Amino acid sequence: MSLQHHIALGPEHLAGNEGLGRVVFLPGSKGRAEAIASHFDDVSHVGNSRALDSWRGTLTRDGRTIDVLSISSGMGTPSTEIVVHELIEAGARRIVRVGSCGALDPQISAGQVAILTGAVRDELATRHLAPVEFPAVAHPDAVAAMVAGAHAAGLAEQVFVGVGHTKASLYAREFHNGPLADEHVAYAKVLRACGAIVSDMEAAMLFIQASVRSAGKARPLSESSATQIQTACVLGVYGNDDSQMKLDAELCRLADERAIQTAIAGAMAWVG
């Protein structure tokens, strides 16, 4: 079996769901990947030298079972580019990022969840895949599935939907450190005025990869979209852009729990 170099996975690991491939949960951290996998049945673990460990299994809800996999992406768009590329090469067609973020919209608080419809491309890695004018957007079916998941999990009052911001720098761009702090503060103000609701470090790459790798595979609504790569992004809110990483551990735990519940229920709706 041919394995992808960094993730040590191949087509055999990603096969499932009657040819659609396993739904992949893609958190940034190995710990969150393992936490997601704790919800799986029939779990098998695949380790590798780069700590991009993965867990395969199944999810069963209301008499339905789907095939799933959980693996970490690491931090930032460059690491995400490698992992997502190799997942797609191995056969992934449905990938949901389950990550963390900081709130930009003042109505959103730590402990809550954001489902992204798209992301501002405030980083450089995606520009090696598509010109900056090309938008980083989630597939509408993916967004609809995650919204359905939030409702099914009983979390509709805690989940927000909107455009996110993907950055290359955490402490400078989001937390306004360094000699360009005033510029970063002004930029965040513009993002809020434009309607961006949260900020993360990976979503734009996920969306751009899905678009680029699905090029030429558009299908009318009357036909199956199984050949298209669809990606979603569900983010637990840890704080806001003034937090300086001084976070409430219990609210971070709650945000993770709610994001995982939303994504799991969303995956069931996505494949169904």
**Residue 221: its pLDDT value, please?**
87
Structure tokens that stand for 177 in this block: 């450190």
Find out whether 41 and 58 touch, Cβ atoms under 8 Å: yes
**Residue 22: its pLDDT value, please?**
97
Of residues 51 and 30, more confidence is placed in 30
Give me the domains of the chain, ranges plus CATH numbers: 11-271 (3.40.50.1580)
| Mutual angle of helices 203-213 and 77-90, in 10-degree steps | 40
Structure tokens that stand for 226 in this block: 């199984």
Q: What is the largest distance, in Å, between two alpha-carbon atoms of the chain?
A: 57
**Residue 240: its pLDDT value, please?**
83
Structure tokens that stand for 63 in this block: 């008499």
Q: pLDDT tens for residues 87-137?
A: 999 999 999 999 999 999 999 999 999 999 999 999 999 999 999 999 999
Q: pLDDT tens for residues 3-43?
A: 999 999 999 999 999 999 999 999 999 999 999 999 999 99
**Residue 224: its pLDDT value, please?**
78
**Residue 246: its pLDDT value, please?**
86
**Residue 244: its pLDDT value, please?**
80
Is residue 241 very low, low, confident or very high in pLDDT (cuts 50, 70, 90)? Answer: confident
- State pTM to two decimals: 0.96
Q: Report the distance separating Cα 165 and Cα 102, nearest Å.
A: 10
Q: pLDDT tens for residues 134-162?
A: 999 999 999 999 999 999 999 999 999 99
**Residue 223: its pLDDT value, please?**
85
Q: pLDDT tens for residues 166-203?
A: 999 999 999 999 999 999 999 999 999 999 999 999 99
Q: Report the distance separating Cα 71 and Cα 69, nearest Å.
A: 7
Is residue 1 very low, low, confident or very high in pLDDT (cuts 50, 70, 90)? Answer: low
**Residue 9: its pLDDT value, please?**
96
